[in-house]
């Protein structure tokens, strides 16, 4: 999906240009463009890979490509680009454009947003093989995500595998990733309403953690979040757990051997919207996503503007040992 005509930027999935086997990244790729629905690509250009990530821990799966020179076919007329919407909501309309396996030509599939989980826009639009990197737009033709994955779950009683949901890489996660990497996201894309995005700083998605199950063993009080792909996250303490869940009623007991089947990939961070700091540093940060991306609150005026007069009483101390689970991004603007 073209998101900037003047500089020629295109967004897609990271796994399109990154080899999942060894993590190597392509430096160039071939981009094909179609005129309309039902068409197959006829205009081809070389693209350079500007940025890319395919992270099995955070599930971030994005790539920023740049259109370079014409390779073959009739030259394509780049007359428009798609703006982005970082404020998608549950029940918003979704249209996904892609090339599903077994079909020829560009296909359009419609549905709606059903939720948000771990950097992913959940949808009821069926995502099949061939949809990787497919753009998903809202009812006003604004980009809200990129078709990324199908999430499966095993029924605890029957043992049968079923589809839990379909996922779109959230455009807000893409924004946070590019900004956190030191590249201003506005270089690659344009907001439908830039003033709204800027005035809403920080934009915090009310998303779920994405656990298939919450579990612990009889031998340890530690609680784990089981993720798809036989992975698990550990809750570092009770305060982190209770930022996500009201009580332990959903926690199941499993055997040590069953738990060992799941690879430990990291620690759960505080729920988005939480204020955190470490004892050895007075800086206070706000958590903006379920991966633990942090933005520093530069002064008390800004803190009061965003979180009220009692903000200081809501700050959580993160143990130094678990702070590396967080990622510090750009600071917020000052208050006043």
pLDDT digit string (tens) for 207-219? 899 898 999 999 9
Q: Which domain holds residue 229?
A: 213-261
SS3 312: helix
What secondary structure letter does DSSP report for 132?
Answer: T
Domain assignment present for residue 80? The answer is yes
- Residue 100 neighbours by CB under 8 Å, 6+ apart: 107, 128, 129, 130, 131
Tokens standing for residue 151: 């999430």
pLDDT of residue 201: 81
Q: In the chain, which residue ranges form alpha helices assigned H by DSSP?
A: 171-180, 194-199, 238-244, 256-260, 300-307
Count of positions (residues) in the chain: 336
pLDDT digit string (tens) for 40-65? 999 999 999 999 999 988 889 999 99
pLDDT of residue 139: 95
CATH number for the domain harbouring residue 142: 2.40.10.120
pLDDT digit string (tens) for 170-188? 999 999 999 988 899 999 9
pLDDT of residue 336: 60
pLDDT of residue 217: 98
- CB crowding 2-12: b at 16 or more within 10 Å, else e: bbbeeebbbbb
If asked whether residues 306 and 228 sit together in one domain, one would say no
Q: How far apart are CA 10 and CA 188, in angstroms?
A: 8
The total number of structural domains in the chain stands at 3
Mean pLDDT of the chain: 92
- State the Cα torsion 145-204-140-147 to the nearest 10°: 10
If asked whether residues 184 and 68 sit together in one domain, one would say yes
SS3 227: strand
Pairing of strands 251-253, 213-217: parallel
If asked whether residues 280 and 228 sit together in one domain, one would say no
* Contact present, 49 and 28 (Cβ < 8 Å): yes
Tokens standing for residue 143: 């980009």
If asked whether residues 63 and 139 sit together in one domain, one would say yes
pLDDT of residue 316: 97
If asked whether residues 128 and 32 sit together in one domain, one would say yes
Domain assignment present for residue 185? The answer is yes
- Predicted model pTM: 0.87
């Amino acid at each position: 999906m073209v998101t900037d005509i003047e500089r020629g930027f295109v967004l897609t999935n990271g796994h399109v240009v990154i080899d999942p086997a060894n993590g190597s990244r392509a430096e160039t790729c071939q981009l094909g463009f179609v005129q309309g629905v039902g068409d197959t690509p006829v205009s081809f250009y070389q693209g350079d890979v500007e940025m890319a990530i395919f992270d099995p821990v955070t599930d971030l799966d994005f790539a920023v490509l740049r259109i370079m020179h014409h390779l073959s076919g009739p030259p394509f007329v780049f007359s428009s680009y798609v703006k982005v919407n970082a404020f998608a909501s549950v029940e918003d309309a979704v249209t996904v454009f892609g090339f599903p396996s077994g079909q020829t030509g560009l296909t359009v599939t419609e549905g709606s947003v059903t939720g948000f989980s771990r950097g992913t826009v959940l949808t009821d639009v069926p995502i099949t093989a061939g949809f990787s990197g497919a753009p998903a737009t809202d009812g006003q033709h604004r980009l809200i995500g990129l078709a990324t994955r199908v999430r499966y779950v095993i029924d605890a009683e029957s043992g049968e595998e079923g589809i839990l949901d379909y996922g779109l890489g959230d455009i807000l996660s893409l924004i946070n990733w590019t900004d956190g990497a030191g590249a201003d996201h506005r270089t690659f894309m344009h907001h439908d309403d830039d003033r709204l995005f800027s005035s809403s700083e920080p934009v915090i998605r009310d998303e779920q953690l994405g656990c298939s199950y919450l579990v612990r063993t009889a031998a340890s009080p530690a609680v784990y979040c089981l993720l798809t792909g036989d992975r698990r996250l550990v809750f570092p303490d009770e305060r982190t757990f209770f930022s996500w869940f009201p009580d332990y009623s959903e926690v199941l007991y499993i055997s040590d051997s069953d738990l060992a089947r799941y690879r430990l990939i990291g620690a759960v961070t505080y729920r988005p919207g939480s204020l955190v700091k470490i004892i050895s540093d007075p800086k206070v940060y706000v958590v903006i996503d379920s991966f633990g991306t942090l933005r520093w609150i530069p002064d008390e005026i800004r803190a009061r503007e965003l979180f009220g007069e009692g903000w200081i009483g809501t700050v959580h101390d993160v143990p130094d040992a678990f702070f590396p689970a967080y990622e510090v991004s750009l600071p917020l603007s000052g208050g006043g």
